[in-house]
Amino acid sequence: MSAAGSGGRIQPARPGDPSRIGPYRVAGRLGAGGMGTVFAATAGDGTRVAVKVIHPSQAGDPEFRARFRREVQLSARVQGPCLLPLLAADPDADSPWLATAYVAGPTLAQHLAAHGPLADGVLYAFATGTAQALEAIHAAGVVHRDVKPQNVLLAPAGPRMVDFGIAHALDGTSVTRTGVVTGTPGWISPEHYRGGVAGAPGDLFAWGALVAYAATARLPFGGGPAEAVAYRVTTGEPDLEGVPEQLRDILESALAKEPAERTTAAEAAAGCARLLAAASTRVIGSGTAARAGHEAAAMQELVTAQWCVPAWQEDTWPRAAGGTGRRSRHRAVAAVLATAAVAGMCVGGVLALRPDGGGPAKDGGAPARSAGSGTKERASGAAGGQSAAPGGDARGRQDTDPRTVAVPTDPLAGVADPAFTRTGDEDQPAPGEWNASSAAAGPAEADAAAAIGAEVTRMLATKDMAFMKATVTFNRRAQTVVVTAGPVSTLTDDYKEVFHRAGATAACTTLAHRLKDAPTSWPYGRFSVYWKDFDGQDEATILGFGEATDGCYTGSAGQREGSEEGLTTATFPSSDKSEIQVAGRTAKALTAAWRTRVAEGHGLTPFDSDDAITLGFDPVEDTLYVWVNDTSDTLAGRAQQSHFRDVVERTACPRLLAEYNAGRRWNYTHWSAAVFQGNSPAPQFVGSGDCLPAKRRGGS
């Protein structure tokens, strides 16, 4: 989790996000990770900053808090080129935080995914600048301990090394437990693997791997399980094929197995600077200590002069929140604030990550995360839509509005000898199922794969997430259709969850139709959804799984119900012009309708803000979500909630049905209403419904 820049695109704030952190007003999110969340924010004078807020589970650990307090003190010492200085911090806050300057630019990992390896003067500038950064860090008595591609930003003026999230002192007073290995596989030194030792030489080892990766776009110690990577790091030689010969000598020294044999950051910076100077016809001398400052400045001038990377489209900076973080986030959707900028922001954010597609790779790969909480119930619930997948019906319905075609809830009812025999089997996918799946064999499987892929793309496109292409494969033995995203790296879990839901829905609805239409010959009734980080991964991360024989949406007694996952998806800005227009009009109409209801004298009170009511669309469940930031407990009672449900249904349904009747592209006929009481980040769902008459409904 980078605390320093926009390695990812700026996203509006989400439900539960703070509106202010210390002296800074939150404008949106930059990313999230295991340690916490990084927010885009502004100071009182308009200066843009990145604020890292530590996750509550970490903040509640006294040992972590003590370590964080010390790291803040140490980071304040670090000053130098190709670094972003610490601006402010509060390690004793309920949620500890630190702030650095904001820099617009991709991470090294994002740049390589979009543009390939660095070369010539740019490569030497990268190597020089990052080595200079480590030199300054080590001079302050700090060890970075997390040097990796995600922690280097390619800013307009040169590389910037960021995130001292797990930096520690060299003076022996660190409170880190001895022997605990922290860091990212492939960027950990041999001595750290062997005994948990993390010092300046370890940073140089990771720097050598980093520069090799920048020069080749290949992981120098390969991928695969963490144990396999650790073995190669401790016993094998790095892959330096393609690294310029002069630079290779420096990297080989940095990547020596024994710490004492490695170059120092200062030596590496000087050596890389000489290569950079040769590329620019300038000379950097050996100099004395008295001239060290002049030489550092000269190095930085060379880095800036040779630095030339493709322009990074900087986001339009979101407007800082005026009330709660939820209001700012929701106002961006409901009032359609800076619509074009928000839509462009999402598109631009994925350009550097857009993959080429392709099927699951079987050789090598990254360490698979532990299987998530995907269970049959969760995966089936995640498949919360009832849109008929295009081409999902073996009989063909080209002339039928697919929205009116019901998704079977019990497709094998009355079938004596179905081809799918795993009905009711709640076992999780076995290890190796993903790896053993293969491309479609025959026209029936090919048609199903195309239908699932098209439906996933339809859902994701309205959120500017269509870059997460679905690869559909089949495991006949497991009777499972496998839906995989990737290779896509450096995305937050929110994106993965949206793909999980979209993939599960598309697979469930398509398989339900197939089972209904060809129950004695179609063998696939289970589906699983995976996330692949890069080509060569030998076991992707499972996001969830389910079965298409017991319905494809969440609900009770035939009534669709809202879910927190659906609400989270709805908070992502829409890029579809119709959705944006309907959202803006409906939000205003709901606010006016509630004022009217209050004025009628039902014992109701107005909300304490004109923008308390917000809404957004979930394309997975085809549902309009309406939520209220109820800081004054206006909807605390059942009677008040009943009035609000009625207002939502009476106001939203006519607008949804008008769009539905105007053309087949509009799928939203369901609604769900939620309330955030006081400052609670958890929603309370107060009502759901379907605007279509029962005789016109598609779905289950």
Q: Is the pLDDT of residue 63 over 50?
A: yes
Contact in structure between 34 and 49 (CB atoms under 8 Å):
no
Q: Which percentage of the chain shows pLDDT scores above 70?
A: 76
In the numeric block, which tokens belong to residue 125?
């500038």
Q: How far apart are CA 65 and CA 59, in angstroms?
A: 6
Q: How many CB atoms lie within 10 A of CB 446?
A: 14
Q: Is the pLDDT of residue 192 over 70?
A: yes
Instruction: Give one word for 338, left, alpha or beta, with left for phi > 0 and alpha for psi -120 to 50.
Output: left
Q: How far apart are CA 451 and CA 514, in angstroms?
A: 11
- List Cα–Cα distances, 37 to 17, 55, 113, 200, in angstroms: 10, 7, 24, 27
Which is catalytic among the residues 45, 61, 146, 417?
146
Rounded to an integer, the average pLDDT of 78-88 is 83
Residues 6+ apart with CB under 8 A from 19: 13, 25, 26, 321, 322, 323, 324, 325, 327, 328
Where in the chain are the domains? 20-306, 325-347+563-696, 353-553
Burial class (CB in 10 A: 0-12, 13-18, 19+), 266: middle
pLDDT value, residue 551? 83
Contact in structure between 419 and 522 (CB atoms under 8 Å):
yes
Instruction: Specify the DSSP element, H or E, that contains 618.
Output: strand 613-618
Let me know if 163 is a catalytic residue.
Answer: no
Q: How many Å separate Cα 595 from the centre of its chain?
A: 38
Name the CATH topology of 20-306. Transferase(Phosphotransferase); domain 1 (1.10.510)
Residue 627 three-state SS: strand
Rounded to an integer, the average pLDDT of 121-134 is 93
Confidence of residue 650 (pLDDT cuts 50, 70, 90): very high
The total number of residues written for the chain in this structure:
700
Q: Comparing 63 with 238, which gets the higher pLDDT?
A: 238
Q: Which amino acid is at 649?
A: E
Rounded to an integer, the average pLDDT of 24-39 is 80
φ and ψ of 671, to 5 deg = -140, 155
Q: Comparing 679 with 356, which gets the higher pLDDT?
A: 679
Mean pLDDT for all residues in the chain:
78
Q: How far apart are CA 315 and CA 303, in angstroms?
A: 25
Rounded to an integer, the average pLDDT of 625-633 is 88
Q: Which amino acid is at 492?
A: T
Instruction: Specify the DSSP element, H or E, that contains 348.
Output: helix 339-351
Confidence of residue 366 (pLDDT cuts 50, 70, 90): very low
Q: How far apart are CA 93 and CA 403, in angstroms?
A: 51
Three-state secondary structure readout of 179-222? CCCCCCCCCCCHHHHHHCCCCHHHHHHHHHHHHHHHHHCCCCCC
pLDDT value, residue 292? 45
Q: Is the pLDDT of residue 335 over 70?
A: no
Cα torsion through 36, 164, 240, 229, rounded to 10: -50
Confidence of residue 346 (pLDDT cuts 50, 70, 90): very low
Residues 6+ apart with CB under 8 A from 204: 134, 254, 262, 263, 264, 265, 268
Q: How far apart are CA 155 and CA 124, in angstroms?
A: 15
Dihedral sign of CA atoms 155, 157, 159, 162 in order? negative
pLDDT value, residue 685? 92
Q: How far apart are CA 35 and CA 54, in angstroms?
A: 6
Contact in structure between 84 and 160 (CB atoms under 8 Å):
yes
Residue 653 three-state SS: helix
Residues 6+ apart with CB under 8 A from 637: none
pLDDT value, residue 649? 95
Contact in structure between 38 and 32 (CB atoms under 8 Å):
yes
Contact in structure between 422 and 525 (CB atoms under 8 Å):
yes
- List Cα–Cα distances, 653 to 385, 386, 640, 693, in angstroms: 18, 18, 20, 11
Confidence of residue 454 (pLDDT cuts 50, 70, 90): very high
pLDDT value, residue 36? 76
Confidence of residue 199 (pLDDT cuts 50, 70, 90): confident
Confidence of residue 555 (pLDDT cuts 50, 70, 90): low
pLDDT value, residue 3? 44
Strands (E), 442-566: 470-475, 480-485, 526-531, 541-547, 555-556, 559-560
Cα torsion through 566, 567, 571, 577, rounded to 10: 60
Q: Comparing 51 with 309, which gets the higher pLDDT?
A: 51
Rounded to an integer, the average pLDDT of 248-272 is 94
Strand partners, 560: 555
Q: Is the pLDDT of residue 594 over 90?
A: yes
pLDDT value, residue 467? 84
pLDDT value, residue 340? 25
Rounded to an integer, the average pLDDT of 308-315 is 70
Q: How many CB atoms lie within 10 A of CB 585?
A: 13
Residue 47 three-state SS: coil
Confidence of residue 317 (pLDDT cuts 50, 70, 90): low
Q: Is the pLDDT of residue 656 over 90?
A: yes
Side-chain half-sphere of 510: how many Cα atoms within 13 Å? 32
pLDDT value, residue 164? 57
Contact in structure between 299 and 127 (CB atoms under 8 Å):
no
Rounded to an integer, the average pLDDT of 682-690 is 90
Contact in structure between 419 and 585 (CB atoms under 8 Å):
no
Q: How far apart are CA 64 and CA 166, in angstroms?
A: 10
pLDDT value, residue 511? 97
Confidence of residue 215 (pLDDT cuts 50, 70, 90): very high
Q: Is the pLDDT of residue 413 over 80?
A: yes
Rounded to an integer, the average pLDDT of 310-316 is 65
The percent helix, strand, coil of the chain (3-state, each to 5) is 40, 15, 45
DSSP 19: S
Nearest CA-CA partner of 255 in 240, 269, 266, 245 = 240
Q: How far apart are CA 572 and CA 623, in angstroms?
A: 14
Strand partners, 11: 29
17-26, 62-71, 204-213, 657-666: which has the minimum mean pLDDT?
Answer: 62-71
φ and ψ of 697, to 5 deg = -75, 140
Residues 6+ apart with CB under 8 A from 596: none
Rounded to an integer, the average pLDDT of 152-159 is 89
Pairing of strands 526-531, 480-485: parallel
In the numeric block, which tokens belong to residue 328?
């700012």
Angle at 468 between CA 464 and CA 474, to 5 degrees: 145
Rounded to an integer, the average pLDDT of 637-661 is 94
